[in-house]
Amino acid sequence: MAWVAFPAYGGLGAVMAAGQAPLGWWWVTIAALAVLFCLLPLQATPRNWSWRLWAAGTGYFAASLFWIVEPFFIEPERHGWMAPFALVLMAGGMALFWAAAGWLAAWAGHGRGRLVALVAALVALELGRGWIFTGFPWAMLGHVLVGTPLMQLAAWGGAGALSLLVLVVALLPALGQTGLQRAGGLLAGLALVAGLWVWGGGESDLPPAQNHVIRLAQPNAPQAEKWQGDNPQRFFNRLLDQTAAPASPAPALIVWPETAVPFFLEHAGDGLAMMAEATHAHGPETLLGFGVQRYEDGRYFNSLAVLDITAQVTQIYDKHHLVPFGEYVPLSEFLLGSGMAGFAAQVLQGYSPGPGPALLDMGPLGHALPLICYESIFPRHLRGTDRPDWVLQITNDAWFGEMTGPFQHLAQARLRAVEQGLPVLRAANTGVSAVIDARGGIVAQLGLGETGFLDAPLPTALPATLYARVGDVPVWVALLAVLGAMVALRLRSGARPA
């Protein structure tokens, strides 16, 4: 592949990213993918396809994951120089999945059959990157459909089904050999989108919301200011004021975001009593859920605790899926020994993982599945317990900046709601805090950078979706059938790529 083609393919990949939040131009993503399919030389070697797909993937992930540089600018004088290296390594690394899909498709397929194989391989490897090296299923192609009626397809096949839809619609025009055939493929794609759009738009019947009200508090503490000087106390007082603010009807639960309090749970001082007093303003049954750091046996945890009005912590959930190098050092216990893991976690400002998904008993509100920040991007974490009544996410998206990251994180929370048929309530430090119904619709929200709280009734869950019951199995069966058929045909014919 000539080096001059790299910028062209990389630029095309960057255009594909326009479908991701906050722009949400899903049609641009599909159009750019269609152009990519038409540009791929059908007789080129697998290695040639691999390089072309790597270039396109690098452009796509660089534009989609640009927010990855934001944490390095919390203290730019110390870490700012790392930002471009982090973006290049992340984009190039994620693009390796596209490169692998290109190689496999060119090896297994023949002629335009290569494009069919490429669609199956891309979706398979998108699903695979949700698991490899602890997983990072961010910026999947199907995420561009969040916010449209088409996202209701996720109730049947998850994000993989959405990615498959995006790629199939882009593929149809590219399968034609003449202008007329490509026009026919375009019309077929438009008809498919229109039909599913009407179907998804009709999937709007929801049971009425419950009578119980939940309050989501958003202190709006910028990460660069959160722990500076007197700010921890100032933001804590802000949360207390938001908690005690009058409401009618009184909230049954008040939720603070991730790492909301300026103390460790074991050394709260008067903090828990102050929180209970603010909560008591709404009556004896109101609970307070809050993000807090805690330690136990030399280990540090990023946790969500539930407090009653007597200042007693009644339940604790410890985040179990941590961000590699962001929240812990991989293999620290193996390298340093279990006796040193806590020390390493402290020095490196990391955490130990909790035991896994668990439900919180919220009394009349039913059972909530807690997720802390990053955990919400993994569909499997919503299927690791008995079925909950709703999902509670606390997060600190101040790390993600203000351009794209927080909006993409919100989009994935909406997708989890559709996949499971469960309402999702998310309390975010700087936003976007939101109440999301069981079809992914935003019932109420506090925008990015807003300070305040919102009260909303708890939406009602729908019956368990197909995806909630069987996960990605139907999509995997379809993908493996296509790829298996392609490989079988190749082996039978003994064909070798040019």
The average pLDDT across 385-394 equals 97
Taking a C-beta distance cutoff of 8 angstroms, is the pair 425, 406 a contact? Answer: no
Overall residue count recorded for the chain in this entry: 498
From residue 216, give the alpha-carbon distance in Å to each of 239, 368, 371, 374, 428: 10, 15, 15, 19, 8
**Contact of 467 with 417, CB cutoff 8 Å:** no
Which of 319, 327, 375, 419 does the annotation list as catalytic? 319
Mean local confidence (pLDDT), 437-463: 97
225, 231 Cβ separation under 8 angstroms: yes
Q: Which of 70, 126, 258, 327 is catalytic?
A: 258
Q: How does pLDDT run across 284-336, given as a tens digit for each residue?
A: 999 999 999 999 988 999 999 999 999 999 999 999 999 886 776 665 454 44
Report the percent of the chain where pLDDT is more than 90: 81
Q: Tell me what pLDDT residue 328 has.
A: 65
Comparing 337 with 355, the larger pLDDT belongs to: 355
pLDDT for res 342: 38
318: closest CA among 328, 304, 299, 308? 304
State how beta strands 433-436 and 424-428 pair: antiparallel
pLDDT score recorded for residue 165: 98
pLDDT at 278 over 50: yes
pLDDT the model gives residue 347: 44
pLDDT at 324: 81
Look up the pTM and report it: 0.94
Each residue's pLDDT tens digit, 34-85 = 999 999 999 999 999 999 999 999 999 999 999 999 888 887 878 888 888 8
Q: Is 373 a catalytic residue?
A: yes
Q: Which residue out of 126, 226, 327, 373 is catalytically annotated?
A: 373
pLDDT greater than 60 at residue 498: no
Could you write out the DSSP letters of every residue in 339-390?
Answer: HHHHHHHHHTT-----S----EE-GGG-EEEEEEGGGGG-GGGGSSSSPPSE
Give whole-number Cα distances, 482 to 17, 49, 116, 257, in Å: 27, 19, 8, 44
Distance, CA of 12 to CA of 478 (rounded, Å): 28
Compute, in degrees rounded to 10, the torsion defined by CA atoms 120, 126, 131, 137: -160
Q: Tell me how many degrees the CA angle 129-135-140 measures, rounded to the nearest 5.
A: 50
Average pLDDT on 396-400 reads 92
Work out the average pLDDT over 452-467: 97
Neighbours of 28 (CB within 10 A): 16
What is the pLDDT at residue 339?
42
Q: In this predicted structure, which of 214-228, 280-294, 463-477, 484-498 has the lowest mean pLDDT?
A: 484-498
Average pLDDT of every residue of the chain: 92
**Above 90 in pLDDT, residue 343?**
no
